[in-house]
Amino acid sequence: MRINGMEWFQVGRWFYLLIHTEEGITGLGEGGIHGYPEAIGGVLQAWQPYLLGKDPLQIEHHWQFLYRNAHFRGAVIMSALSAIDLALWDIAGKHFGVPAWQLLGGKCRDRIRLYMHVGGETADDLAASAAAAVRDGFTAVRFTPFPHNYPELRYAELLEQMLTRVAAVRETVGNGVDLCVEIHRRMDPHHASGLALELAKYRPYFLEDPLVPDSIQRMGDLQRSIQVPIATGERLHTIWEFNELLAAGGCRFIRPDVCMVGGLTHAKKIAAIAEAYHVGVIPHNPLSPVSTAACVQLDACIPNFALQEYTGEDVPPKSTILKQPLVREGGYLLVPDRPGIGVELDMDVVRAYPPVAKVIATPLHEDGSVADW
Ligand SMILES: [Mg+2]
């Protein structure tokens, strides 16, 4: 089997790659760095001459060849590599007539437990949104407890408001639902520690990204100082970065993004490193249903899967772009038996969604200085 064509395109803010073969099998992949599609396309353009004519089943070899081809690294290159890797696993599955999870070691589970995004400005709104998700069958909900004017609040005010929101959700959904509290890197280590100590009584399942991820050592210091599990890693790219995070004791859950860490090939290795630390895997998944499908392939075949991020596939374009969407039963996605990564784009629908350009809107603190988000 030989690769005889590649095409890439943007749908809304999502970036897709199709890899074609002489045998007529086409693989689908998604690249994770939304907002900079021309950059991913530039990498793919440069790599295309290497891939054309190659055997698509030599996935690990192509991964290593492309990763080692230059001394440059980072999100753009890893997004391009992820899209290629996912497309090659899709081709391999279709070639052998089995799901990617079968080729990656077989199923560890039949359904994938989800955590659903909920939201609301006030504590009541947030609690109502969480209650609606629970009525829909979800057993874990994720929310950010920040009010919209959080940059204007003093620490004690902010802490009080955040605790009020978390308390409202816990009171509403009870102890039968896991709470995933997203901090969006908005705190420094000492204030995040103060938050986590007070938050512990509401028993959150995890505290997501309390700090900017730039210092693995500080994340480790924070995790050792608190009991609430930290979940982090959505901005990391490789086994080496995740290994350093884990060795520093920086979290209890890792958040690899299969569209950012070099696809299923590298994500499976990252999960294995985490397994050695008794750390669970909660794949990051803010992108399209193709990313969700790729996550499900990983989730199905790793023993230390914990939860899957899910933003809802019920609203267009997410609800419309796949020929056969994944099947959700309550708070779970069923592991599909279809070959490859198990989904196909409906190209007629996809063409109806033009590219959406990234808006450069970095948040600012009240004094005009740059914040993160
Ligand atoms: Mg996040």
φ/ψ of residue 208, rounded to 5: -95, 130
Which pairs from 217-220 meet CB under 8 Å and 24+ separation?
217/248, 218/189, 219/245, 219/248, 219/250, 219/251, 220/245, 220/248, 220/249, 220/250
pTM over 0.85: yes
Pick the CATH number of 102-341 from 3.40.50.300, 1.10.630.10, 3.20.20.120, 3.30.200.20: 3.20.20.120
Q: Is 68 exposed, middle or buried (0-12, 13-18, 19+ CB in 10 A)?
A: exposed
- Alpha-carbon distance of 70 to 221, in angstroms, equals 34
Q: Rounded to 5 degrees, what angle do the CA atoms 224, 176, 234 make?
A: 45
Q: How high does pLDDT run on average in the chain?
A: 95
CA of 2 to the centre of ligand 1 (A): 38
Catalytic residue among 184, 190, 237, 278: 184
Indicate the helix (H) or strand (E) that contains 85. helix 75-96
**Contact (Cβ atoms closer than 8 angstroms) between residue 99 and residue 338:** yes
CA of 114 to the centre of ligand 1 (A): 15
* Residue 115 CB contacts under 8 Å (≥ 6 apart), including other chains: 138, 140, 141, 142, 178, 180, 205, 282, 307, 308, 309, 310
- Alpha-carbon distance of 235 to 254, in angstroms, equals 11
Helices 239-247 and 216-225: angle between axes, nearest 10 degrees: 40
Q: Which two tokens stand for residue 153?
A: 């609040």
Q: Is 52 exposed, middle or buried (0-12, 13-18, 19+ CB in 10 A)?
A: middle
Please indicate whether residue 365 is annotated as part of the active site.
no
Whether 3-97 shares its CATH topology with 102-341 is answered no
Which pairs from 196-199 meet CB under 8 Å and 24+ separation?
196/222, 196/226, 196/227, 196/228, 197/226, 198/159, 198/163, 199/162, 199/163, 199/166, 199/228
- Alpha-carbon distance of 220 to 68, in angstroms, equals 30
Q: What is the tens place of the pLDDT at every residue in 36-60?
A: 889 999 999 999 999 999 999 999 9
Tell me which amino acid residue 180 is: C
pLDDT of residue 318: 83
CA of 183 to the centre of ligand 1 (A): 8
Above pLDDT 70, what percent of the chain?
A: 100
* Residue 91 CB contacts under 8 Å (≥ 6 apart), including other chains: 1, 19, 21, 25, 26, 27, 56, 57, 340
Residue with tokens 């490789």, as numbered in its chain: 238
Q: How confident is the model at residue 366 (pLDDT cuts 50, 70, 90)?
A: confident
CA of 182 to the centre of ligand 1 (A): 6
Per-residue pLDDT, averaged over 70-89, amounts to: 95
Per-residue pLDDT, averaged over 306-313, amounts to: 93
- Alpha-carbon distance of 346 to 360, in angstroms, equals 30
CA of 311 to the centre of ligand 1 (A): 11
**Helical spans, DSSP H, in 251-353:** 263-276, 289-301, 347-350
CA of 369 to the centre of ligand 1 (A): 22
Residue with tokens 């592991």, as numbered in its chain: 335
CA of 7 to the centre of ligand 1 (A): 30
What would the CATH number be for the domain defined by 3-97? 3.30.390.10
- Alpha-carbon distance of 93 to 48, in angstroms, equals 22
pLDDT of residue 364: 85
pLDDT of residue 373: 61
Residue 355 gets which letter from DSSP? Answer: B
pLDDT at 90 over 80: yes
CA of 208 to the centre of ligand 1 (A): 6
List the domain boundaries for the chain: 3-97, 102-341
* Residue 147 CB contacts under 8 Å (≥ 6 apart), including other chains: 121, 153, 161, 165
- Alpha-carbon distance of 285 to 312, in angstroms, equals 11
CA of 256 to the centre of ligand 1 (A): 11
Catalytic residue among 62, 95, 284, 365: 284
Q: What is the tens place of the pLDDT at every residue in 234-280?
A: 999 999 999 999 999 999 999 999 999 999 999 999 999 999 999 99
Please indicate whether residue 20 is annotated as part of the active site.
no
Tally: H helices and E strands in the chain = 12, 13
- Distances in Å between the Cα of 114 and the Cα atoms of 178, 201, 244, 266, 306 are 10, 23, 27, 22, 9
